[in-house]
Amino acid sequence: MPEPGASVLPPTPPAHSPLFRAEQFVWLTARVLEQRLFAYHFLNGAADPVETALDAYRNEDGGYGHALEPDLRGPVSQPLHVGHALHVLDAVERCGGQRVDRVCRYLTSVSTPDGALPAVHTGQRGYPTAPFIPVVEDPPSSLLATGPVVGLLHRNEVWHAWLFRATDFCWQAVESLEKSHPYEIEAAVAFLDSAPDRPRAEAAADRLGRLVRDQRLAVLEPDNLDSYAVPTGYAQGEHHFPHDYARTPRSLARAWFTDDEMSRSLDHLAGGQQEDGGWPVRWRQWTPGILLEARPMVTIQALRTLRAHGRRIG
């Protein structure tokens, strides 16, 4: 029995388990935010330190910047940073209150004429930016930026005037998709998984699932990667798998794949852990720092996905 008042250390994962190896990788390479997130998800860590670490990226306009999303450098707030921040707050069950009210005011200030979000606001001009995220004048509305934000706010029962038109945009964008690519489909799933109108969401997800299979946007045979073309503009080897769409068994995207297809996908994910304990980044690494910052994020997501689907990680 511990002495009265003594702190109880979290259990240590078994040596050489996927979790133990990933933990060593995170302590060695990760930013403070990802270290705190890892501790929260896997080592009984508290939510307050995660929020404190996230606050370092918050700006006075209510948005987030400072390369929270590593592919956008510089201090200015951007919708993609805000989506990342809301994902963190949702993960620690803190996606609400005055912080999210400030976020919604920021979202209102940068919205397009139809009430949605651009992928990149023009304020990014002059700062280093990934070449596959162009900064343009009068940027169009983006499902990739808007869908996850709207989904997370609905998931946490946030109600704000900004959500009405943004939700309408997401419905129109999702239901009119004909030719798409994996990241846009992932954004659509993020919206549909939490959209309030569940029958409409289920119908839209069913149609998207057929589109994903018809256009071969998910690798169903990981041992035969060469037979799956990488979408135009993606990096070599930047394939997507069933687990990328269905992060948890509760996702509407889970119904798109058979049990065998999902099992093969999860086997492939588990087998992707590298010798240093981290998982690889599959998208284009346009500057060395991106790889260092993004791999801990990818590693935490891989562990969470495996655990959500019932795989033992240690």
Domain for residue 6, yes or no? no
Tell me the two tokens of residue 177. Answer: 């998709």
pLDDT for 98 beyond 80: yes
How do residues 55-91 score in pLDDT, each as one tens digit?
999 999 999 999 999 999 999 999 999 999 999 999 9
Domain for residue 180, yes or no? yes
pLDDT for 30 beyond 90: yes
What band does 16 get if pLDDT is binned at 50, 70 and 90?
confident
pLDDT for 122 beyond 90: yes
Distance CA 101, CA 103 (A): 5
- The confidence score (pLDDT) of residue 302 equals 98
108 contacts 61 by C-beta, under 8 angstroms: no
- The confidence score (pLDDT) of residue 10 equals 62
Domain that holds residue 191: 57-206
Domain for residue 301, yes or no? no
Domain for residue 265, yes or no? no
The residue among 310, 303, 311, 312 whose CA lies nearest residue 40 is 303
CB atoms within 10 A of CB 120: 22
CATH of the domain at 109: 1.50.10.20
How do residues 187-231 score in pLDDT, each as one tens digit?
999 999 999 999 999 999 999 999 999 999 999 999 999 999 999
How do residues 260-297 score in pLDDT, each as one tens digit?
999 999 999 999 999 999 999 999 999 988 889 999 99
Domain for residue 307, yes or no? no
Domain for residue 284, yes or no? no
Domain for residue 108, yes or no? yes
Number of domains composing the chain: 1
Domain for residue 95, yes or no? yes
pTM of the model: 0.93
